[in-house]
Structure 1
Amino acid sequence: MKVRRDAWSHEDDLLLAETILRHIRDDSTQVAAFDEAGDELNRTSAACGYRWNAEVRTRYVDAVEIAKKQRKERKRTSDQKQRQKPESQTIDTKKLIHEIEQDAPVRSMSHLTLNFEDCITFLSTYSTKDSLELRSENNELVMENDRLKRENEELTLKYHQLIENRKKVIDEYTLLMSVFDQASKIEEKKYVN
């Protein structure tokens, strides 16, 4: 029995599966997994993707589900850690606030009002500037999107015209070849008779 030079061995399939399962657990993409496996197996990522989807994946359905559960659990614990603040940090913040209140000089109410008004003015101006910039950027993107849609429609129309022209050229070529064929047959008959 001949073995193709590029045939997949059991070890190749195993390495491909391990790589993809690791990427699933790490919340990475299959494309990245195919790229990595391709580098390790000296194959293209497309070949790895085809092999995974056509042959290997069906053998690892349970393992894929377990990897997805592990990914979900890892995300959940990561989110919980981010939400929890260390106790020492909370105490330090409370101490800092207390020290600031003790050391702060007494200020007049008008000075505080001025600061609040400045803050409100700044924030309202800042959000307005942001809003105007975002609106302007959005308008530019809408215009660019419209331009690209028009360009896409024009290119699609040109593509269909080229397909039609190609069909016509092929038909004309076929007709021309049949005329040449018939002419050559007539010429042969002349010489035979």
Structure 2
Amino acid sequence: MTAVRQDAWSPDDDLILAEVTLRHIREGSTQLAAFEEVGERIGRTSAACGFRWNSCVRKRYEDAIQIAKQQRQKRNYLKKQTVTAASAVTSQVSSISVFETEERIFKGDTNSLDEGLSVDAVIRFLRTWKSTYQDLSRQIKLFEKEMKDKEEELFRLRSENERLNHEVNNAQTDYRTVNDDYKTLIQIMDRARRLTVFSGEEEAKPRFKMDANGNLERIE
């Protein structure tokens, strides 16, 4: 059972916690397993190790965590590729074995098979290949049709995009024209208003004339 320590965490403890946790992340293991391993090594509970990691240590190793995750993804990818390659090799070996068997049948190897069975096997072999060829032909035609549809859709979208761009340009041109006309109208109205006010002031001023006696007389 892991001992429960009450003393403070030392830099060495933090380093062990970081190294073990990053290794588990790289290898695709869980952090819980890492905390249990660290707890056994430094004499603390896995809960204490988890709390220390999340509250303090993790913040100092964010870049290292991202690198460890990338290494884990690369490791999983290489592992998957290895499994895929092994499966492909196994499939190829099986295909070669089948081909060699049917080749012997086609050449009339009757050491272990009678003549009637060899003919049946050849017929089955040819039918299988014919069916496979037909399936591949249908798939190719389907892919060609899909590609043609995609090209037509792309052409339609490009045409629509050009049309919309043309409409946007026309709308911008119309907006600028209307805006310029509006500014011109405002200027004309402002000048007319100033002329009206000026004319009203001129008409409001009283006018006088001098009579024969030298007195000023207001003219209505």
More helix by share: 1
TM-score normalised to the size of structure 2? 0.43
Larger Rg: 2
TM-score normalised to the size of structure 1? 0.49
Which is bigger in relative contact order (C-alpha 8 A, separation at least 6)?
1
